[in-house]
Structure 1
Amino acid sequence: MNELSANEFYEKASSQTLSVIDVREPDEFAAGHIAGSFNLPLSQLADRYAMLDQTKAHYIICQKGGRSARACEFLENHGYQVTNVQGGLEAYPAEGID
């Protein structure tokens, strides 16, 4: 599985537009998320993953990194290009969160 630290991801996201999928639940997402990220809760992933563009690379994030790792494993098994953001939002610089 491809992985980036939250700081490496922050630097990359600061210089280019990325497809960021937040797999936390809607209430967690509403409490704060990365600007421009898309909320696709892990609990709904198996039913809704086909809506993701399979030709794009996606960066998957959650609160601490566990749910995003599971989401990455699932999406990789279905042919998607994904990278797990290690440490999740807890490790992400605060100025990058809305």
Structure 2
Amino acid sequence: MNTIDAHALSALTNPIIIDVREPFEYVSGHAPTADSIPLGELVARVEELDRDNTVYVICESGGRSSQAVEWLSTQGFDAVNVEGGTSGWRNSGLPITKEN
């Protein structure tokens, strides 16, 4: 499985980041450019993703995102798991966006 850490991801220009946590987790704080597609909705919403670009998948600690990356890879996506998830992002001192 392809992986990336939070610092390397934050250095990329316009990465496509999918946050697979539940909505209440997402609104409490997420990587600034991440879009919310909860893991339970991923199969139904997969057509929202761009197959021509790498998709970086994040959750809270890496468990759900690794499941999503495995499945997306079987669907032909170049999917990468974000090591340490949002907690790793937060603990690295990177910016977090909160929804009101």
What's the TM-score, normalizing by structure 2?
0.88
CA–CA separation in structure 1 for the residues paired with 2:3 and 2:31:
17
The residue aligned with 1:5 is 5
Structure 1 or 2: larger strand share?
1
Q: Deviations over 1:30-66 (max 9, x none)?
A: 1011112100000111111122111111110000000
Q: Identity over aligned residues, as a percent?
A: 36
The residue aligned with 2:95 is 96
CA–CA separation in structure 2 for the residues paired with 1:8 and 1:17:
13
The residue aligned with 2:57 is 60
- Structure 1 residue runs of 5 or longer lacking an equivalent are none
The residue aligned with 2:77 is 80
Q: CA deviation at 1:7?
A: 2.7
Runs (4+) of structure 1 exceeding 3 A deviation are none
- Structure 2 residue runs of 5 or longer lacking an equivalent are none
What's the TM-score, normalizing by structure 1?
0.90
RMSD: 1.1
The residue aligned with 2:18 is 21
CA–CA separation in structure 2 for the residues paired with 1:95 and 1:73:
26
Structure 1 or 2: larger helix share?
1
Matched residue pairs, number? 95
Instruction: Say whether the 8 Å CA contact 1:7–1:91 is kept in structure 2.
Output: no
